Amino acid sequence: MHSSKIVGVGHHVPEAVITNQYLTTIMDTTDEWIIERTGIKERRWIDPSKDTVANMAAKASRIALQRANLTEKDIDFIVFATITPDYFFPGSGVLLQRELGLDGSIGAIDIRNACSGFIYALSVADQFIKTGMYKTILVVGAEIQSTAIDPTTRGRNTAVIFADGAGAAVLQRSDNPGILSTHLHSDGNFAEELYVRDPGSSRPREERQPEQILDTTHYKVVMNGSLVFKHAVVRFLEVIQEALAANKMSKEDITLLIPHQANLRISQFIQHKLEFSDDRVYNNIMRYGNTTAASIPIALSEAWGEGKIKENDVLCLAAFGSGFTWASALIRW
Q: Tell me which residue of 290, 13, 320 sits closest to 160, measured CA to CA.
A: 290
Are 276 and 323 contained in the same domain? yes
For the chain, the domain total comes to 2
- Active-site annotation holder among 20, 113, 283, 290: 290
Are 92 and 143 contained in the same domain? yes
pLDDT at residue 196, as a whole number: 85
Are 134 and 210 contained in the same domain? no
- CATH at residue 311: 3.40.47.10
> Is the pLDDT at 209 greater than 70, yes or no?
no
Residue 316 designated active-site: no
- Active-site annotation holder among 260, 283, 284, 316: 260
Q: Tell me which residue of 235, 272, 268, 245 sits closest to 330, measured CA to CA.
A: 245
Are 168 and 207 contained in the same domain? no
Give the range among 6-20, 140-154, 237-251 with minimum mean pLDDT. Answer: 140-154
On whether the CB atoms of residues 128 and 76 are closer than 8 A, the answer is: no
Across all residues in the chain, what is the average pLDDT? 94
On whether the CB atoms of residues 38 and 160 are closer than 8 A, the answer is: yes
Rounded to an integer, the average pLDDT of 241-259 is: 98
**Cα 310–290–107 angle (5° rounding)?**
70
Are 301 and 325 contained in the same domain? yes
- Say how far apart CA 179 and CA 146 lie, in whole Å: 33
Are 91 and 145 contained in the same domain? yes
One-letter amino acid identity for 139?
A: V
Per-residue pLDDT tens over the stretch 115-167 = 999 999 999 999 999 999 999 999 999 999 999 888 999 989 999 999 999 99
Q: Which domain holds residue 88?
A: 3-175
The pTM of this model reads 0.95
Are 230 and 104 contained in the same domain? no
- Active-site annotation holder among 20, 115, 283, 284: 115
Are 100 and 119 contained in the same domain? yes
Are 94 and 118 contained in the same domain? yes
- Coil, strand or helix at 181: strand
Provide Rg for the chain, Cα atoms. 19
User: Considering the chain, what percentage of its residues have pLDDT values greater than 70?
Assistant: 95
Are 162 and 24 contained in the same domain? yes
Residue 290 designated active-site: yes
Kindly provide the residue ranges of all beta strands, DSSP E only, lying in 24-164, ordered along the sequence: 42-45, 77-81, 107-111, 136-143
Are 101 and 123 contained in the same domain? yes
How far, CA to CA in Å, does 193 sit from each of 85, 102, 224, 227, 247?
22, 39, 5, 8, 33
- Banded pLDDT at 211 (limits 50, 70, 90): low
